[in-house]
Amino acid sequence: MRALIDVDAPAIAYLETAHGDAEQALRWAVVALIRTEVALAEARNAVSRGYVPASLLAGAIDLTFRSCHWRLQP
C-alpha cells in the first residue's frame, strides 16, 4: 500500500497543478526528473574527483528535496 501512495501522490500533484492536462503534467514530471538526474550526476562526478563545491551539492540536494515533496515549479 505504501508503494502505491509513494507513486500516486506525485502523479496527482502534477495533474492538479496542470489543471487536469495529463500531457502537461507528464512533461513537467519528465523535466523535473531530468533536472534531478543532471544535478545528481554532476554531484556524483564531483565526488568521484574528490572535490565538491558546496553550491553544487546544495543544488542537488535541493532538487531532490523538491522532487520528494512535490514542490512543483512549472
pTM given for the model: 0.56
- Phi first, then psi, for residue 18 (nearest 5°) are -85, 10
Secondary structure of residue 21 in the 3-state scheme: coil
Q: Give the per-residue pLDDT at 15.
A: 85
Q: Give the per-residue pLDDT at 68.
A: 45
Q: Give the per-residue pLDDT at 61.
A: 60
In angstroms, the CA 21 to CA 15 distance is 6
CA nearest 11: which of 36, 41, 33, 38? 33
Q: Give the per-residue pLDDT at 59.
A: 63
Check: CB of residue 43 under 8 Å from CB of residue 57: yes
Q: Give the per-residue pLDDT at 55.
A: 66
**Gyration radius of the chain's alpha carbons:** 14
Mean pLDDT by 10 residues, the chain (74 residues): 63 85 89 87 77 64 51 44
In angstroms, the CA 33 to CA 28 distance is 9
